[in-house]
Structure 1
């Protein structure tokens, strides 16, 4: 090789290294981080920073403590790969943890993906999507392997994804301050504060952050609407298939489950002192806590099971760091929440995914238990008078079937889809719309991309299950596999439409600010009080009213429920 060619190659290599070596000094002197270059959906360069620590490791004596700011570090931290997911019992997961990832307590990291090369904070003007992953508060991760954001990047949106503590590590509490409540929510709040302080370094505008999530990620996004510290810092919210008004979004007996955990871990544990329980938990290996089978003996009707145990709870309002100090339902009624624009909705038959391993006969058997127990149909936190529970349950059930759930398992699934996801989302939209713009949707398009065609279908043609819409936004464990062009043209069109609607909302707080032929020139109307109009997203786009018999359900519940109002 001659000298001229050698010099040329060295110069090219130098430019390549300079392009790939993206280093940022974080705000408040935490330290420097190194990112790297990835390719967007259109093949354009974007800049990824993965596994950024936003909190100190919740390990050792920090286990079951509120999250703390991380220590500063020397040198440059390599943030180019996701390696950890938070402690989770993978036996409960619907998907497997990628082989490249480790289950660990030391997991409080976030990821930032930006189409703008960092370094010019004067041009930090991009809208930001702050994404909270789902997984029943039991599993999942915000890692790149789960949520590849490259399609949002093509719309000039900065994307942030996060990890937060799961299961008992995130939601076990003694309800007296010894083991604080809602640690997983508090992790999320601390992560948001990090983003608000630092996102300008990545080209994002701290005044243009939309908080979004799916399933329990939507529960968490909804609970962030209550946080007084975040008022004025969030531009909008997206709640996909989840509202804090859901019966499985909150539990009211956390101390019982905390001490049940102690007894599962040590059969000789008899103490009722919170300090003794904490001591036991600190000495127990994390994997044993994660895999402990704590009996769900308070919410036996909830067929999602353990999800009703490790969930948020209402805290003592005297705690300045409390995440939830009042029922979301009451807060929405009086307007005591962050009154920012909201985009929310549901899949047309959410609950199919939770029965994916059951036969029709098994579904019918579970439905029969509801036929025999009115209290399964009428949640206790509706505070219906004892002598009215039977008649209220009968009227509620009659909306879905004239017979029994045992003989009509399709009606049973429709009831569970409504009771757990659709009715709470519609109620949330209705109440919030009195104070800020709200856009409600139903995702009804059943395609190949969502990979859910194998699920049992006993409900009819509108049968799109929980998580389906995620496949059209992301690649990865939570998204779709392969290239979009591998899928039918109708799938590709649906993906394009969803991304236009969602990124319009992220940028303009309006999903249809202009007429767009891709969207059939439709104008998505706001929810206006009792007039619950919504966008039905199927092969075509259609404006409909009264989602899934919501008016009928509301009429029954309003007639019988009593304060304090918690769920709906």
Structure 2
């Protein structure tokens, strides 16, 4: 009966699609048949096949809220893959309310391929979005694959649980923690099993991500759960050393969340039963700050309450039960070569939005000049001393004000991004793996965030600007002129990253420069309109932060 029904439905489906002027295509995956579509690339370089909103895990709703992801269910007949899946519930920063249109049933991925049946299977680039582990989505209007597809790779983008739904932990089986990272693993497993049906090579997968996505990529290089699921990694402006990495007192925070929402208990089983039945809106909008200072820190640095943790060993499969820094220092890595780096002025990002809070707290409260992980580790007197050192280094004898806000941007660039990225690279090359280091300096009309720095006298790339040269996001309304300097930078950037995904070497034949790995004299590539190989020029700045961290007992390696 099923085969007869399928034979009846196929012509009816294609009739409906033709009436809608959509060129469709079918692909059989492990769970059933997907209906995708044929689209034209925005670059004018041909067509591609698009499959969106593919379930890679069971809906994490009801009793599955907070739990590790479960395998996706099969279906009879056909399933449309023409639209993005729902984004996971998350906060809208401008309102501090839950973002409209999100849904707990959100574990979807998109697959884009230039060829369904290539002569040789194509390398796969698996993208993990950023967002402080608290927000973000893989929607096609933000992460259009057109630029990368021009280089003969398959592109996969994913949603994963963020914030409280992705990272709450009570150290029990019902809420082990790191559900969001395990969602990423589940998506990688789905790719391993199914990507060949889209022309992709399951044995040549490169994970890449930006900000929290970059941090995720570095965590996958260390997690036993991710072993064998990818070959290479690219971390853009993010490593797990950042202030949004391993939080403290995660269990206490979960109990406080339950208390704020109406249940006082110290019984984790009772707490999780209660939290599974609370509305998702109340969960996402709650602010379980353990310390009063976390509120202002949230305003200034966008630190969020629920993030990756070191899991308690409960006898089940775990993402990690040892701190990732310990795993890295002991060379317990999933062997993989790595591209890692940052934009020129990471701190321009969100500068306008955070300026009011920064100028409210920074001048009077020296603790805000000190990274959060340090402020939580040393006593108040030491925090003040360290704050004085930071202020003298970046502001000299000048006050922190509108007139010195450019210095604030530089401070934020180094203490929240650049220092920790260099620190990770230094440790990574000691494991014997290669790290290709870069500074992304491209600047054009595509630098949607970097353009905000002009008012501060800064014409530099900033956090997430590099994504506009990798993905064609229609939401940004950017024109594409194939004769422009910016298009040359798009082609150049995508060539480097896709060549790395294909061969493990970012420099293709015929380039006028060879990008050597970081272990060779601390070499890095300046990725601008021109490609320039340099050696690390910022050691004094890195050394300053090294001394600050080591004073607090947080060693560089």
TM-score (normalizing by structure 1): 0.85
CA distance in 1, matches of 2:529, 2:361: 33
Relative to structure 2, which stretch is displaced further, 255-264 or 144-153? 255-264
CA distance in 2, matches of 1:176, 1:337: 27
Summarize the Cα distance change of 1:405–1:328 in structure 2 as closer, same or farther, 3 Å threshold: farther
CA distance in 1, matches of 2:525, 2:132: 26
User: Match for residue 281 of structure 2?
Assistant: 287
Contact 2:243 2:371 in 1 (8 A): no
1:411-461 C-alpha deviation (Å, 9 max, x unpaired): 232122111111111111111122211111112233211223552557653
Local SS of the residue matching 1:211? strand
Matches within 5 A, 1:436-451: 436-451=433-448
User: Match for residue 527 of structure 2?
Assistant: 537
User: Match for residue 115 of structure 2?
Assistant: 116
Local SS of the residue matching 1:373? helix
Summarize the Cα distance change of 1:427–1:313 in structure 2 as closer, same or farther, 3 Å threshold: same
Summarize the Cα distance change of 1:202–1:385 in structure 2 as closer, same or farther, 3 Å threshold: same
CA distance in 2, matches of 1:305, 1:362: 9
User: Match for residue 76 of structure 1?
Assistant: 78
Summarize the Cα distance change of 1:413–1:283 in structure 2 as closer, same or farther, 3 Å threshold: same
Question: By how many angstroms is 1:395 displaced?
Answer: 4.8
User: Match for residue 492 of structure 1?
Assistant: 487
In structure 2, the gaps of 5 or more residues are 1-10
CA distance in 2, matches of 1:159, 1:73: 24
CA distance in 2, matches of 1:409, 1:442: 23
Local SS of the residue matching 2:246? coil
Summarize the Cα distance change of 1:260–1:496 in structure 2 as closer, same or farther, 3 Å threshold: same
Residue 354 (str. 1) matches residue 350 (str. 2): yes
Summarize the Cα distance change of 1:405–1:373 in structure 2 as closer, same or farther, 3 Å threshold: farther
Q: Aligned-residue CA RMSD in angstroms?
A: 3.1
Matches within 5 A, 1:256-335: 256-266=252-262, 269-295=263-289, 297=291, 300=294, 301=297, 305=301, 307-335=303-331
Matches within 5 A, 1:62-461: 62-92=64-94, 102-118=101-117, 123-266=119-262, 269-295=263-289, 297=291, 300=294, 301=297, 305=301, 307-359=303-355, 363-370=358-365, 372-373=366-367, 376-377=370-371, 379-380=373-374, 394-395=388-389, 398-403=392-397, 406=400, 408-434=404-430, 435-452=432-449, 455-456=452-453, 460-461=457-458
Contact 2:173 2:314 in 1 (8 A): no
CA distance in 2, matches of 1:458, 1:249: 32
1:100-129 C-alpha deviation (Å, 9 max, x unpaired): x931111101111111125x7xx4521100
CA distance in 1, matches of 2:388, 2:522: 25
Contact 2:132 2:304 in 1 (8 A): no
Residue 510 (str. 1) matches residue 505 (str. 2): yes
CA distance in 2, matches of 1:92, 1:296: 23
1:523-560 C-alpha deviation (Å, 9 max, x unpaired): 2221117x432222233332333354454236415743
Summarize the Cα distance change of 1:397–1:305 in structure 2 as closer, same or farther, 3 Å threshold: closer
Question: By how many angstroms is 1:387 displaced?
Answer: 7.8
Summarize the Cα distance change of 1:56–1:425 in structure 2 as closer, same or farther, 3 Å threshold: same
Match of 1:468 among 465, 468, 493: 465
Relative to structure 2, which stretch is displaced further, 454-463 or 65-74? 454-463
